[in-house]
Amino acid sequence: MTRAKNTPVTRERRKKILKQAKGFYGSKHKLFKTAKEQLMHAWEDAYIGRKQRKRFFHRIWILRLNIFCRARGLKYSSLIRSLKLAKIELDPKQLSEMAIHQPELLNKIIDTSIK
């Protein structure tokens, strides 16, 4: 009986890896082994980047809110504390969007939370 080497499946798997490595420099998009290694590093960097992106946006929201609060003579931390004491549950993303697009509404919320 002849030996089955499973060539079509192997070829498809390798083609899939090389297709994902399209655009990499040098042999990293031509040779299977180097392409696979480079893709593993790229996936690791992408995973880390997704976490960093969340951190970055959270920093931006807090920065926007702090600028808005400083214009009113408040600090970000005192705003968040007063909102928690007033049991107003808005996260920094919602508050920063309000600061940009609806500042008068945010002013009302701040006035009600400080009282």
Domains and CATH numbers, the chain: 8-114 (1.10.1900.20)
Residue 5's pLDDT band (cuts 50, 70, 90): confident
Whole-number pLDDT of residue 106: 93
Residue 77 vs residues 3, 54, 62, 71, 74: alpha-carbon distances, Å: 71, 20, 10, 14, 9
Strands of the chain, DSSP E: none
CA distance 52 to 46: 10
**Using one digit for the tens of pLDDT, what is the confidence trace for 38-93?**
999 999 999 999 999 999 999 999 999 999 999 999 999 999 999 999 999 999 99
**Using one digit for the tens of pLDDT, what is the confidence trace for 24-52?**
999 999 999 999 999 999 999 999 999 99
Q: What pTM was estimated for this model as a whole?
A: 0.75
